[in-house]
């Protein structure tokens, strides 16, 4: 879309025959500058203008209007990327909260790890931290790479991960609160 708008803004003056030159640069524009009375139709027909002498000087093309049309969408894109990065940071924070709350829950003898993949690692603090950190980094960079290839899939993966981790962390804190109240 951005490329289409930019191409239109650059080619429209060329195709319409309007000169992009400024009168201050010793080039005569096709339309006279001044009041609208200069655009009034004369009583007798004017001779057909000679367009063969019109040249386009690339230094005179001003893209400020094109940038003002395209820039808001770039800002939206940067904002969306920033929000996605925030979901990745919250996923890392939720993984840290899961690690800390799991360690606290395991201090009570009647509570155990519910994730069968992590169950062998929770007995050793260093191994548990290394596996949890490695999986967090793999999820972070994997989701970021997925987002670069397909933004909707990246968003789905990030939001699903955050929802699942939110449930796990809230369940850990619920179990911890119940265990402390006994």
Answer whether residue 30 is part of any domain: yes
Of 11, 36, 62, which closes a domain? Answer: 62
Cα gap 94→89, rounded to integer Å? 9
> Beta-strand (E) ranges in the chain?
none
Measure Cα distances from 1 to 63, 64, 73, 77, 97 in Å.
16, 17, 10, 13, 42
Answer whether residue 68 is part of any domain: no
Can you give the pTM of this predicted structure?
A: 0.58
Q: Which domain holds residue 155?
A: 78-181
Answer whether residue 168 is part of any domain: yes
Domain count of the chain?
A: 2
- Kindly state the tokens that stand for 18: 């309007």
**With bands split at pLDDT 50, 70 and 90, how would you rate the model's confidence at 75?**
low
Residues 105 and 177 in one domain: yes
4-50 pLDDT, tens digit per residue, is 444 444 444 444 444 444 444 444 444 445 544 545 555 666 677 66
76-100 pLDDT, tens digit per residue, is 678 888 899 999 999 999 999 999 9
Residues 116 and 172 in one domain: yes
């Amino acid at each position: 879309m951005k490329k289409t708008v930019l191409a239109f803004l650059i080619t429209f003056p060329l195709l319409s025959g309007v000169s992009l030159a400024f009168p201050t640069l010793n080039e005569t524009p096709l339309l006279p500058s001044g009041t609208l009375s200069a655009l009034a139709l004369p009583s007798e027909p004017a001779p057909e203008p000679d367009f063969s002498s019109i040249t386009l000087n690339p230094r005179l093309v001003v893209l400020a209007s094109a940038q003002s049309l395209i820039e808001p969408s770039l800002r939206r894109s940067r904002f969306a990327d920033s929000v996605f990065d925030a979901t990745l940071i919250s996923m890392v924070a939720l993984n840290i909260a899961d690690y800390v709350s799991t360690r606290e829950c395991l201090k009570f003898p009647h509570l155990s790890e519910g994730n069968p993949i992590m169950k062998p690692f929770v007995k050793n603090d260093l191994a548990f931290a290394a596996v949890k950190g490695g999986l967090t980094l793999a999820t972070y960079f994997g989701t970021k790479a997925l987002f670069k290839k397909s933004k909707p899939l990246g968003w789905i993966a990030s939001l699903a991960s955050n929802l699942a981790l939110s449930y796990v962390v809230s369940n850990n804190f619920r179990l911890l609160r119940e265990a402390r109240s006994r």
